Amino acid sequence: MTSELYVYYKIAATDGPAWLPLLRQMQAALAQQGVEVSLMRRQDDNAQQAQQTWMEVYRGIADEQAFLLQLQQALHDHGLESLGSARHMEWFVPLEG
């Protein structure tokens, strides 16, 4: 059975334009390694708000511990380590039956 990882955090709206290309590059690199990725923001957030909630989604994870190491390395490789403390991670699996 595979898992899905949902990573969400608040980001200053003024920081968004700098972080977005780096996040997309990181996710593209993970996608090349076979991970299904997406990046979203909270629907009711808008550009005028001081903060937005962003969410990274990673699907099809067979080995959670190995993927966490892979994700940590990807954050490092793309200069996104400072997002680390603000990130909240939650794992989900399909319901059986």
pLDDT, tens digit, for every residue of 57-89? 999 999 999 999 999 999 999 999 887 668 999
| 8 assigned to some structural domain | yes
Supply the range of the domain harboring residue 38. Answer: 3-92
Among 87, 78, 74, which Cα is nearest to 21's? Answer: 78
Q: What is the pLDDT of residues 7-65, one digit of tens each?
A: 999 998 888 899 999 999 999 999 999 999 999 999 887 767 889 999 999 999 999 99
CATH number at 33 reads: 3.30.70.100
| 79 assigned to some structural domain | yes
Q: Give the per-residue pLDDT at 44.
A: 85
Query: Which token pair is 23?
Result: 């996040």
| 70 assigned to some structural domain | yes
| 97 assigned to some structural domain | no
